[in-house]
């Protein structure tokens, strides 16, 4: 075997030549040479490694720099998109606001000439009653009815546009008190019983809006009862963040094909001669509930009745245990 | 008491003015009404020395030019006119309008009724109410 170069130099220094090593010591020197070789083999990669690393590092660095650049670009793009989205949102909000204002102003301005028309027709009917004859009287009577209906429609648009207009005043509302007040106000006929099945919670929303939701759903339930005995049941269930209210009636029910349509503006299933059925009520309910991020839907069996459901957000500060207790049905009736 | 004092109607809408005129005539109060078709003309009438001060004023809010609210502001800042009761008679049931009117010491706020009969009833009640009341204008 060839002796390690470094060891060979040492040997030559001490013995003059490699061959001068005493024969019995050869295995020892072989072993030493092996050790030297081993040391060299180990050392070589160690010496080389900084070189390799710096090459690789440069590459990694470059890759990282590239990635940082790409990420920054992506971030910039995202920022730009967010800005665009914000701009679009604020523009949409503005357009929405303008539409609301428009509906409000227009319906307001339409009322004045309509009042003029109605009043003049009324005066003609009064002042020239003898000259009109029964047919003319009847026609003027119809004209007055149409004016009343148009007035009801304009009022509905006013209400509808008002619901999404202006700043709102969120106050805690005890529905346990408020809902019976609404029922009193609606003064249901004696053959219709209204029951509050579950304890109702306190919500923190705008009073008028919440009133309008219950008022419209309850007055619809009352108005369309077609049985000799009417039963309307108000229920409430809660989950993590939402209350689900239900108003169940034993009215005529709503055909499947109409269950979407009834929530649209001016869509009513009542005959048109009924001046009070403007088709605003349910669309107003939908608008208000959706304004608070909630949902409204109906389940119905034709001939047996309907249940209108809607969700409203819980008060943010309410502790969860209290919520669980609050929605346990207790079967209390009013 | 209102007595024989006139009342002033500040109203730009001719239809509404017609309704109030007829209703007052029906109530037997027709001759006692002065109609100003704008807030500006209303003020000129009130400030004219030769004209009798009205017992009270019926005021519309939405008018071109000077608005009803501005009219009310001007009136309440004028010591000679500030004591005349003003009843707002308007189409607006806006909360802001109601609030502002009462902040400016309006004596009443009535949303114009849609049908004539209700309008007559409302004016009858206004007249009766201000006949029961002692008014500053009666003593000046």
- For the segment A91-104, what is each residue's pLDDT rounded down to a tens digit? 988 888 787 778 77
Which helix (H) or strand (E) segment holds residue B113: the answer is: none
pLDDT-derived band at A273, boundaries 50, 70, 90: low
pLDDT-derived band at A237, boundaries 50, 70, 90: very high
- What number is the average pLDDT over the span A151-164? 80
Who among B22, B62, B114 is closest to A115 (CB)? B114
Question: Strands A296-301 and A242-249, how do they pair?
Answer: unpaired
Quote the CA–CA distance of A221 and A269 in Å, as a whole number.
Answer: 13
Confidence (pLDDT) at A327: 43
* Reported pTM: 0.60
| Burial of A184 from C-beta contacts in 10 A (0-12 / 13-18 / 19+) | exposed
Going by C-beta distance under 8 Å and a sequence separation of 6 or more, which residues neighbour residue A45? Answer: none
φ, ψ (nearest 5 deg) of residue B70: -65, -40
Is A207 an interface residue toward B (CB < 8 Å)?
no
- What number is the average pLDDT over the span A283-305? 91
Confidence (pLDDT) at A271: 61
pLDDT-derived band at A167, boundaries 50, 70, 90: low
Is A53 an interface residue toward B (CB < 8 Å)?
no
Confidence (pLDDT) at A49: 64
ipTM: 0.74
% residues pLDDT > 90 (chain B): 46
Is B115 an interface residue toward A (CB < 8 Å)?
yes
Confidence (pLDDT) at A150: 87
The answer, yes or no, to whether residue A196 has pLDDT greater than 90, is yes
Are A108 and B92 within 8 A, CB to CB? Answer: yes
Helices A26-127, A129-163: inter-axial angle, 10-degree rounding:
160
* Cα Dmax for chain B: 38
- What number is the average pLDDT over the span A11-24? 84
| Nearest-Cα residue of chain A relative to residue B96 | A166
Q: Which residues of A touch B13 (CB under 8 A)?
A: 112, 116
Work out the minimum CA distance from A163 to partner chain B, whole angstroms. 12
The answer, yes or no, to whether residue A329 has pLDDT greater than 80, is no
Lowest mean pLDDT, pick from A38-52, A109-123, A152-166, B110-124: A38-52
* Mean of the per-residue pLDDT values of chain B: 87
Q: Which residues of A touch B115 (CB under 8 A)?
A: 118-119, 122, 148
Q: What is the pLDDT of residues B84-123, one digit of tens each?
A: 999 999 988 788 889 999 999 999 999 988 889 999 999 9
Question: Strands B7-10 and B56-59, how do they pair?
Answer: parallel
- What number is the average pLDDT over the span A2-12? 85
Q: Which residues of A touch B91 (CB under 8 A)?
A: 108, 111-112
Is A123 an interface residue toward B (CB < 8 Å)?
yes
The answer, yes or no, to whether residue B1 has pLDDT greater than 50, is no
Confidence (pLDDT) at B88: 95
* Mean of the per-residue pLDDT values of chain A: 84
The answer, yes or no, to whether residue A54 has pLDDT greater than 60, is yes
Would you state the structure tokens that stand for residue A216, as one six-digit string? 């419209």
């Amino acid at each position: 075997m060839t002796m390690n170069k470094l060891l060979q130099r040492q040997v030559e220094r001490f013995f003059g030549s490699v061959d001068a090593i005493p024969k019995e010591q050869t295995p020892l020197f072989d072993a030493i040479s092996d050790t030297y070789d081993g040391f060299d083999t180990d050392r070589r990669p160690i010496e080389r490694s900084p070189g390799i690393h710096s090459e690789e590092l440069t590459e990694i660095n470059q890759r990282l720099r590239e990635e940082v650049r790409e990420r920054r670009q992506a971030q910039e793009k995202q920022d730009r998109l967010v800005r665009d989205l914000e701009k679009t949102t604020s523009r949409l909000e503005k357009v929405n606001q303008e539409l609301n204002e428009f509906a409000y102003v227009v319906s307001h301005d339409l009322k004045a000439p309509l009042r003029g028309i109605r009043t003049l027709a009324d005066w003609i009917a009064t002042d020239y009653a003898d000259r009109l004859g029964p047919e003319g009287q009847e026609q003027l009577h119809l004209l007055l009815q149409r004016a009343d209906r148009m007035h009801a429609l304009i009022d509905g648009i006013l209400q509808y546009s008002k619901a999404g207009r202006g700043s709102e005043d969120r106050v805690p509302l005890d529905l346990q008190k408020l809902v019976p007040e609404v029922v009193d106000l609606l003064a249901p006929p004696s053959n219709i019983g209204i029951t509050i099945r579950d304890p109702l919670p306190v919500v923190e929303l705008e009073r008028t809006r919440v009133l309008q939701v219950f008022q419209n759903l309850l007055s619809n339930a009352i108005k369309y009862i077609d049985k000799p005995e009417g039963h309307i049941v108000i229920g409430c269930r809660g989950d993590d963040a939402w209350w689900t209210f239900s108003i169940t009636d034993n009215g005529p029910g709503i055909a499947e094909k109409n269950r979407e349509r009834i929530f649209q503006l001016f869509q009513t299933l009542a005959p048109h001669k009924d001046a009070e059925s403007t088709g605003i009520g349910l669309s107003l309910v939908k608008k208000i509930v959706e304004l608070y991020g909630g949902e409204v839907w109906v389940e119905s069996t034709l001939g047996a009745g309907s249940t209108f459901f809607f969700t409203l957000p819980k008060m943010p500060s309410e502790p969860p245990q209290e919520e669980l207790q609050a929605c346990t049905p207790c079967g209390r009736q009013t | 008491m209102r007595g024989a004092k006139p009342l002033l109607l500040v109203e730009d809408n001719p239809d509404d003015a017609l309704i109030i005129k007829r209703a007052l005539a029906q109530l037997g109060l027709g001759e006692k009404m002065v109609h100003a078709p704008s807030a500006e003309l209303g003020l000129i009438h009130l400030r004219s020395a030769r004209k009798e001060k009205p017992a009270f004023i019926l005021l519309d809010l939405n008018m071109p030019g000077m608005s009803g609210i501005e009219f009310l502001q001007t009136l309440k800042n004028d010591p000679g006119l500030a004591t005349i009761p003003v009843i707002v008679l308007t189409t607006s049931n806006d909360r802001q309008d109601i609030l502002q009117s009462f902040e400016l010491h309006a004596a009443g706020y009535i949303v114009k009724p849609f049908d004539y009969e209700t309008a007559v009833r409302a004016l009858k009640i206004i007249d009766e109410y201000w006949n029961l009341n002692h008014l500053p204008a009666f003593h000046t």
